[in-house]
Amino acid sequence: MADINVKVGQKFPLTIKRLGINGEGVGYYKRKAMFVPDALPGEVVLVQVTRVNTKYLEGKMLKIRERSKDRVKAPCPVFHLCGGCQIQHLSYPAQLEYKQQIIKDSLDRYAGHIPEDKVSPVIGMAEPFRYRNMNLFPVEKSGRTIRAGLYKEHSNTLIDIDDCIVQDSRTMAVTNEVKRIMSELNIDVAKNPQREDGVRFIVTRIAKETGDIQVVIVATTASLNKLDMLAERIMRIPGVKSLALNINADKESRVLGPETLIIKGEPTIRELLAHFEYDLTPEGFFQINTEQSTVLYKAIKDAAALTGTESVADLFCGTGGSALWLAEQAEEVRGVHVDDAAIINAVYNAALNNIENCKFEAGEPLDKLEEWIEEGFYPDVITVNPTRAGLSFDELDAFNDIKPKTLIYISRNPSSLAKDLAHLTKAFTVDFIQPVDMFPQTVQVEMVVKFSRKKRLG
């Protein structure tokens, strides 16, 4: 295509055809794609060009001339500033349709041989707000006042948030009280962890079924000033059962560092999913959406279709969330994860629920799987839940070679999933893709894919 003559600052009307993977509206100006934040499919908007690229344009919306029937007023007052939610301005039924379409589009782009009808409708929530059971807020100081919240999108400007409508209201209340106490005590804050000591993040998590709350103060040092007074006052906040100090002096973007100290209260809080109990450590992973976790684990269990005789390998098992559900109907489940702390949590949670046919080990998942097979543990079912980057070529080749009867792939990245599906369908057939909306108001979606082994030749 010949390059078009368009300049930054130019204005023109644009018809929005679809939503992109980041929730931005996508239209076409003289056949060149243009990305416009906040615009919705079916709308005609007046846009101004903000960036010209050889392959695409970027713009900002100045006015809506024709409005989408699916547009709603975003209930969050900082929606247009905060980067946490991307599609609050889209009705919830339309959000679910969008997420299903994003999966179909990824299949069409990377695995076109897989029929679109393999993608089931997204399982949504009756109440798609207040679902997050944990907040992780960076902090900064203005005078003596502690501010905590989220960064403005694409910037280092912190938005001080007193309420977030996707967070549980109880975690927000506790976080606000911790901010107030820290301000009164004039607690040190480390905006630059390489140059100063102090608090970097406030992490608050609630076990939704029990109401127990865990607070983690992330700081650069264990020698935090006035720590005893801070701990005593935080433990007086109603609902707080556990207070920990996590040490993280690295400048990396991750929140938690490698060392966690229990300062006061219990080392864990207890959550319930269906009839399973989970003790949550400060550093232990747990799904952010408690209600939809039950839906997700049930979808995994239904996909496995176990009869009681199968061996199951759960790769990237985390703290054993879905493994406990699978163990009820399997002969044996073995889980592996790269993180030692997660495996300790998994072993403890299996014992807590009196589940004796689960074995968890730390290590590289593929190495451990090959070791188990050499020992005579050949899995009938493999479940795998990798990072957003998806599976490595070695892992893809291994699954195609091992050919378990059933392979279940859990992903939250439609693009990397579709790329992996293109490789895995050499040995497997895709039975279905079941999306679960774990993150309403955002562009993220979780997917459970069931593969069945193709009939062996010869």
Beta bridge partners of 48: 11, 60
Chain segment 69-103, per-residue pLDDT in tens: 999 999 999 998 887 899 999 999 999 999 999 99
Is 135 within any annotated ligand binding site? Answer: no
Here the tokens at position 71 are 């547009």
What's the pLDDT at 41? 97
Residue 455 is given by DSSP the state: P
CB 245, CB 263: distance < 8 Å: yes
The identity of residue 401, as a single letter, is D
H or E segment at 134? strand 134-142
Whole-number Å distance between alpha carbons of 354 and 300: 21
Tell me the per-residue pLDDT of 428-449, one tens digit each, with 9 for 90 and over. Answer: 999 999 999 999 999 999 999 9
Q: How far is CA 416 from the centre of its chain?
A: 15
> Are 27 and 61 within 8 A, CB to CB?
no
Picking from 32, 26, 23, the residue whose alpha carbon sits closest to that of residue 1 is 32
Specify whether the CB–CB gap between 353 and 324 falls below 8 A.
Answer: yes
Residue ranges of domains in the chain, CATH in brackets: 11-66 (2.40.50.140), 100-126+289-453 (3.40.50.150), 134-273 (2.40.50.1070)
**At what angle are helices 227-234 and 169-185 packed, to 10 degrees?**
150
- 329: its two tokens: 């109907």
Does residue 287 have a known ligand-binding role?
yes
Q: List own/partner pairs for 158-163 with CB under 8 A and 24 or more apart.
A: 159/78, 159/81, 159/82, 161/78, 161/82, 161/137
pLDDT at 2: 53
316 carries a ligand binding annotation: yes
Neighbours of 165 (CB within 10 A): 19
Q: For each of the chain's 458 residues, which pLDDT tens digit applies?
A: 456 789 999 999 999 999 999 999 999 999 999 999 999 999 999 999 999 999 999 999 999 999 999 999 999 999 988 878 999 999 999 999 999 999 999 999 999 999 999 999 999 999 999 999 999 999 999 999 999 999 887 788 899 999 999 999 999 999 999 999 999 999 999 988 778 899 999 999 999 999 999 999 999 999 999 999 999 999 999 999 999 999 999 877 789 998 999 999 999 999 999 999 999 999 988 999 999 999 999 999 999 999 999 999 999 999 999 999 999 999 999 999 999 989 999 999 999 999 999 999 999 999 999 999 999 999 999 999 999 999 999 999 999 999 999 999 999 999 999 999 999 999 999 999 999 999 999 999 999 999 999 976 43
**3-state DSSP assignment of residue 403:** coil
Residue 207, amino acid = A
Confidence (pLDDT) at 457? 42
